A and B are shown apart, each in its own frame.
Chain A
């Protein structure tokens, strides 16, 4: 057996999990702070560890601890097996969808080609659609097993909604399928290239597909303006009304994982995936020392500036306890990280024992790090977009939702598919 290969696969899986899950606390924080910002209030700013509050970033930790240790109330008349199964399905399906999304270009180390994703499937896009369509079971089972009419209504609504918008999503994805001529996400990202003019969104059918996919992904993640399955003013909390403590936390986290996954697929299909704008993988590898100095030097500069901003906010005696020292602590932390970034950027090659960036392996590793960072940045932007929309738009009525899905998005999607076919034909004939 090829144990090295197995270990590499395991590392890839763990890396993927860490990548997604590390988004969660940040997103929950961004959601609360973003809501506060839009509603013109301070938002969470109390929870602290030894006086360090990080502008509320400690709050998610407190939330998780609370949810873990709360009493797990199970109502008497629920159907136990499915009641317990539903949160697990919701969470695991949300995580599994991400398996085919590439986080960086394939790296060649020690005679192996290692894709930075769990699996480079030939049917990648279909896999995403297939697994995403399973997500509805978590919600349906939760709604049905709770033995509660609000929950049942929420489950029914969400299943109807998700089936309806899956069609639009499939049509939008099908357009990208036509434009790139492949279903393999890796190939799609490579076909888009580093130039933003070559990205999926930069053609007419691609732009229409992007808008459709965006709307459909709001519906698929059950978030406002399409959060009818849990619309609190009508259904209390919808499908998860009978859940408490960690089972509720599973649904809560599944929503954010779904957001990350939707944003990741969006970025991969329409915004060049892991591609650093204007800088291709070859460019990074070939000019590795310069790129490393610019990237890490720039990061260090930003961190130092942030530290200076933090120090400027130092007001001794404002609280009269540990919190007074917070700006200093944060600034020192930022500067230490900045020093680390500088060391990573400039030291290799100077210190004996560590090869410089002219070395091919170091170059590929640098490219991978930069690309994962770029991907995370793009995903974070779209995740923020989800939050922004949630706190800006009011909820749709149910008939409006269905009308939007079936009588607007579906015809537009079919028209767009035809348009994409013509587009591909025309661009192959006249090389547009």
Chain B
């Protein structure tokens, strides 16, 4: 009961904040709304026994990626006024929005019937030990590949953003 209440609370908060992200005028407000969404989703993850994922969600998404976003918005000093000079809902965009909403409805309709019983999970599920065990044995090659991707991203970001090398 407690778990369900919390889940609906987090879900509603995340959806409302996501709406703000999509419809907000001010980029900083959008970023803060996205942070709220991410935080609420971290709560959802905790309820799904994904403790490590929830922590990493806050650490990486809210703590690093979104700081970067806010930093760039502040650096470029984007206010609401130099936004959206084109009309916000041209016909094409409206169609896109309707299409997306219809897709969501379709997806959701599919999932309503999807209510198989969840497996019983042991203690320590989603904890640090289990994840690292698997990450460093079965998934070691993707893990190393990801480190290469991140390295390439760092170098690429410096090359792109630096005025002169």
Q: Which residues of A contact B (CB under 8 A)?
A: 79, 81-82, 121-123, 126-127, 129-131, 133-134, 136-137, 140-141, 143-144, 152, 155-156, 159-160, 162-163, 166, 183
Contacts and interface: CB of A to CB of B under 8 A. Distances in A.
Contacts of B63: 129-130, 133-134, 136, 166
Contact of A121 (B51, B56, B124): B51
| Residue with the highest number of chain B CB atoms closer than 10 Å, among A129, A137, A162, A166 | A137
Contacts of B128: 122-123, 126, 183
Contact of A126 (B55, B71, B75): B55
Interface residues on B, range: 20 to 34
A159 B59 CA distance: 15
If over half of A's interface residues share one DSSP class (helix, strand or loop), that class is named, otherwise mixed; here it is: helix
Residue among B59, B62, B75, B127 with the most chain A CB within 10 A?
B59
A417 to B, nearest CB: 14
A113 B53 CA distance: 27
Contact of A152 (B52, B67, B74): B74
A82 B67 contact: no
B60 to A, nearest CB: 8
A7 B28 CA distance: 40
Nearest to A129: B59
B59 A122 contact: no
Interface of B: 26, 28-29, 32, 35, 51-52, 55-56, 58-59, 62-64, 67-68, 70-71, 74-75, 77, 124, 127-129
B55 A140 contact: no
Contacts of B56: 126, 130
Nearest to B64: A133
A123 B35 CA distance: 21
Interface SS, B side: helix
B32 A141 contact: yes
A79 B26 CA distance: 11
B64 A163 contact: yes
A196 B121 CA distance: 40
Closest 8 CB pairs of A and B: A133-B63, A130-B59, A130-B58, A126-B55, A123-B55, A122-B127, A159-B71, A130-B55
14 contacts: A122-B127, A126-B59, A130-B55, A130-B56, A130-B58, A133-B59, A133-B64, A134-B58, A140-B74, A141-B28, A144-B28, A159-B70, A163-B67, A163-B71
Given A123-B127, A130-B56, 17 more contacts: A81-B29, A122-B52, A122-B124, A123-B52, A130-B55, A130-B58, A130-B62, A133-B58, A133-B63, A136-B63, A152-B77, A159-B67, A159-B71, A160-B71, A163-B64, A166-B63, A183-B128
Contacts of A183: 128
Nearest to B127: A122
